[in-house]
Amino acid sequence: MKKTTAIVLLLCSVFISCSNNKYNRANLPEQEIRELTEGFKGDIGIYVKDLKTGAEFAVNADTIFPSASMVKIPIMVKIFDKIEKGELDYQMELKYGPEPDYEYSGDIISNLIPGTEVALSELIHLMMSTSNNTASLWNQYLAGTGTEINRWLEENGFESTRVNSRTDGRVEEFEMYGWGQTTPREIARLVEGIFKGDVVNKTASEQMYRIMSRNYWDGEALSQIPPTVNVASKNGAVRASRSEVLLVNAPSGDYLFSVITKNQEDTGYEYNNEGWVIARKLSAILYSHFESQSSWEPDEGLKNYHQ
């Protein structure tokens, strides 16, 4: 009898202890995030979504920002749309022919000898993983140019995300936002759709998600997540803007966030650029929130590997 009473008392104490635990996954760390953005010298937009509970948090999430290299996500989507329609083949061989007016010179693809054969699959991986710009423009052309990509975006409910560079009728937008434009919410929604298998179709989505899980540029928000955790991501940087979108397959449940800046006073490309610092801090806050039992922290020496 005494033994039974002791067990009951123990279970009650555990229940009371759990009830007093204020941690609630759905209660996103809104105050911490707001404090993070205070005093930022520029404009910033943030979107966070807990895919387990559906909880969301946003700061300027519907404001249009430069997409920078995140524009390569919709380029990839349209390439896969054409693959699934039989208009392109994932392993087709293409012959490199340089464009003399291309401003991004000196990367791996632009240094190829004219006539060199490159597989479309390699171009896609280079565009997404290392963010190779020559490969990206080549893919944009193969996708049917910005006109075809933008048509897909419009047809699928993306009102603000667009390709501007080398796209008819988008000169003003190009001058304002550069290669592409998006909002924190829309770019996150596109990545979420890929994760759920809803973009193009399930087969294409799965392959795109695999590709997005191999990001060479891992020194910012990605650096605040353990290397053992799968993350699909894409980041971008132009002179006065920094951007990153991540879908984290965390042990306790998946979550998604994007952070984009513009009009930054800090236009440098050093490790301590203000936009990159915020991306790392935001990522650390979110991982700590969603994985509250984790004691993992990035090693201080990793900053020496910043690209």
pTM passes above 0.85: yes
pLDDT band at 268 (very low <50, low <70, confident <90, very high): very high
Q: Name the region of 135 (left: φ>0; alpha: ψ -120 to 50; beta: rest).
A: alpha
Domains of the chain by residue range: 26-291
86 is written with which tokens? 């039989």
- The CATH architecture that domain 26-291 belongs to is 3-Layer(aba) Sandwich (3.40)
pLDDT band at 99 (very low <50, low <70, confident <90, very high): confident
- Three-state secondary-structure class, residue 231: strand
Cα gap 261→115, rounded to integer Å: 39
Residue that has been written with the tokens 């209660």 in this structure: 27
pLDDT at position 106, please?
74
Cα gap 137→57, rounded to integer Å: 34
177 is written with which tokens? 């936002």
Phi, psi of 292 (to 5 degrees): -65, -20
Cα gap 137→123, rounded to integer Å: 10
**Does the structure show a pLDDT above 80 at 21?**
no
Return the axis-axis angle of helices 145-155 and 72-84, rounded to nearest 10°: 90
pLDDT at position 305, please?
85
212 is written with which tokens? 């997005």
- Length in residues, the chain: 307
Q: What share of the chain is helix, strand, coil (3-state, %, to 5)?
A: 45, 15, 40
Provide the H-helix boundaries in the chain.
Answer: 2-20, 30-37, 72-84, 120-125, 133-142, 145-155, 171-177, 184-196, 202-212, 274-290
Compute the C-alpha angle 186/227/277, nearest 5°.
Answer: 55
Cα gap 137→122, rounded to integer Å: 14
Q: What is the pLDDT of residues 172-192, one digit of tens each?
A: 999 999 999 999 999 999 999
**Does the structure show a pLDDT above 60 at 79?**
yes
Q: What is the pLDDT of residues 213-237, one digit of tens each?
A: 999 999 999 999 999 999 999 999 9
